[in-house]
């Protein structure tokens, strides 16, 4: 079945770039997403990328997709304290209506 | 536009008791989903409603879980009797079209603790 994997923790210095990585197993994924969960809040859709794209940039966020290696990454430029959250990688498949999530990467920012 | 609303936000119950979680989707969203995140693990799909019909309930863990969506508006998820392993955060989400086109809009979740 589908599987999405992420590392559990990432710590970066304020002002540096953060890169959160994700690998997935099902190559039939049509859309890949990054969701953000701040403490006490729900899941917020940050950005998404179609499977026929290699890169998508949106202000401080850059998503890279390597379909050959089934690898997705999220880069946050100039990381701020407000970026502290759990980031979930997720994939959707045309054969199903559900989205498959990873375990989430907790991003912490140090001064 | 109001978002997806879930309540309660927190619930602490004893093992063996019953708990009912409620989700109010965004008005007009036919698709409603329930997900669960057990501590530190991935967010797992439970089930999907299209209007009042269960489209996919392949993620429901066992028959102690019962989801309903009478009238195709709000949905409830009942756990009876609750077990310790049911603890986690239960998320509801809704979407206008299929989730693959738009992603979901999630509620803030209900944190369930079974003691």
Per-residue pLDDT of chain A (111 residues; tens, 9 = 90+): 568 899 899 999 999 999 999 998 877 777 889 999 998 788 898 998 988 889 999 999 999 999 999 999 999 999 999 999 999 999 887 656 778 899 999 999 998
Q: Do A98 and B33 touch (CB under 8 A)?
A: yes
Chain B residues close to A93, C-beta within 8 Å: 100
Q: Tell whether B73 lies on the interface with A, counting CB pairs under 8 A.
A: no
Of B35, B100, B105, the CB nearest to A94: B100
In this complex, do A98 and B43 lie within 8 Å of one another by their Cβ atoms? no
DSSP, res B9 = S
Closest Cα in chain A, distance from residue B68 (Å): 18
Distance from CA of A25 to the nearest CA of B (A): 15
Residues facing residue B34 across a β-bridge: B47, B92
Output B1 or A98, whichever has higher pLDDT: A98
Q: Which residue has the higher pLDDT, B90 or A24?
A: B90
pLDDT for residue A78 = 97
**Nearest chain A alpha carbon to B41:** A103
Candidates A26, A28, A98: best to mutate against B (most CBs of B within 10 A) is: A98
pLDDT at B65 over 60: yes
User: Taking CA atoms, what residue in B is nearest to A3?
Assistant: B42
Look at residue A94 in the predicted model and tell me its pLDDT: 62
Q: How far apart are CA B103 and CA B96, in angstroms?
A: 10
The band of B34, judged by pLDDT with boundaries at 50, 70 and 90, is: very high
Interval B36-65 mean pLDDT: 92
**Under DSSP, is residue B2 helix (H, G, I), strand (E, B) or coil?**
coil
Question: How would you label A79-102 residue by residue, b for 16+ Cβ within 10 Å and e otherwise?
Answer: beeebebbbbbbbbbeebbbbbbb
Q: Please list every residue in chain B whose beta carbon sits closer than 8 Å to the beta carbon of residue A40.
A: 108
């Amino acid at each position: 079945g589908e599987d999405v994997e992420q590392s559990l923790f990432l710590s970066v210095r304020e002002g540096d770039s953060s890169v959160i990585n994700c690998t997935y197993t099902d190559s039939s994924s049509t859309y890949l997403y990054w969701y953000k969960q701040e403490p006490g809040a729900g899941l917020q859709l940050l950005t998404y990328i179609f499977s026929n794209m290699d890169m998508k940039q949106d202000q401080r966020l850059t998503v890279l997709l390597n379909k050959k290696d089934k690898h997705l990454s999220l880069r946050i430029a100039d990381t701020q304290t407000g970026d502290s959250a759990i980031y979930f990688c997720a994939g959707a498949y045309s054969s199903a209506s559900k989205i498959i999530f990873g375990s989430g990467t907790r991003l912490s920012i140090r001064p | 536009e109001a978002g997806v609303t879930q309540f309660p936000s927190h619930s602490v119950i004893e093992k063996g008791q019953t708990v009912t979680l409620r989700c109010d989707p965004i008005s007009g969203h036919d698709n409603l989903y329930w997900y669960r995140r057990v501590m530190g693990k991935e967010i797992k799909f439970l089930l999907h409603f299209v209007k009042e019909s269960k489209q996919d309930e392949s993620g429901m863990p066992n028959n102690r879980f019962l989801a309903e969506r009478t009238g195709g508006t709000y949905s409830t998820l009942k756990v009876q009797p609750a077990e310790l392993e049911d603890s986690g955060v239960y998320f509801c989400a809704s979407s206008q079209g299929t989730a693959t086109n738009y992603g979901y809009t999630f509620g803030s979740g209900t944190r369930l603790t079974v003691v």
